[in-house]
Amino acid sequence: MTVFIPKDVIIEDVVPISHGSSVEVEFSINDYIFFEKANSMYYDKGYFVTGWVKEEGMKSIQELEEEKRQAFQERMKIIKEEKRAQAGGTAPSALRTTRDLPSIPKGEGGSASTFCPSCGKDLDWKFCPYCGKPLPH
């Protein structure tokens, strides 16, 4: 198929589309009026033009695909770490624990617990006011 492009149209940017053999063409602001005339000529011949506008801050398809690829690689890395930890006898949760909870005293000689074992808040009450569970005093 032959495409007619008048010589007054200036092509500013051409980006290959990932599907098919077409290209995306971006016109300068001054070419839009002439483009409408050319579009009318195409319409009379049975052709049509489609397109879209990319707003500021929107990501391109390539950027979104790259983010998906990186997220997949990160997830696979975590899965491999968990498998290595299971094979080594280490609990997988121990690899990613970043919150330090106070230790619970053992035996009858130890002092009473002053934190909620459910939510980790430091308290000296019978019930946790944050989660409502009874405290082990």
The pLDDT assigned to 1 comes to 46
Q: Which residues pair with 26 in a beta bridge?
A: 13
Q: Structurally, how many domains does the chain consist of?
A: 3
Indicate the length of the chain as a whole number: 137
What pLDDT does residue 50 have?
59
pLDDT in tens, the chain (137 residues): 456 666 665 555 565 555 555 555 666 777 777 777 777 877 777 776 655 556 667 777 788 888 888 988 999 998 888 888 888 766 555 555 566 666 655 555 545 556 666 666 666 667 766 677 776 65
Q: Where are the alpha helices (DSSP H) in 15-91?
A: 32-44, 61-88
Token pair 């009473």: residue: 112
Query: Any alpha helices (H) in the chain, and if so which ranges?
Result: 32-44, 61-88, 92-96
Domain coverage including residue 74 = 61-96
Q: Are residues 33 and 70 in the same domain?
A: no
**Three-state DSSP class for residue 77:** helix
pLDDT of residue 85: 81
Question: Is there a domain that residue 102 lies in?
Answer: no
The predicted structure's pLDDT at residue 28: 72
Are 133 and 127 contacting, i.e. CB atoms less than 8 angstroms apart? yes
Rounded to whole angstroms, how far apart are CA atoms 27 and 63?
A: 23
The enclosing H or E element of 25 equals strand 23-27
pLDDT score for 25: 63
The answer as to whether 106 is a domain residue is: no
Helix H or strand E encompassing 27: strand 23-27
What is the pLDDT at residue 42? 76
Asked if the structure places residue 104 within a domain, the reply is: no
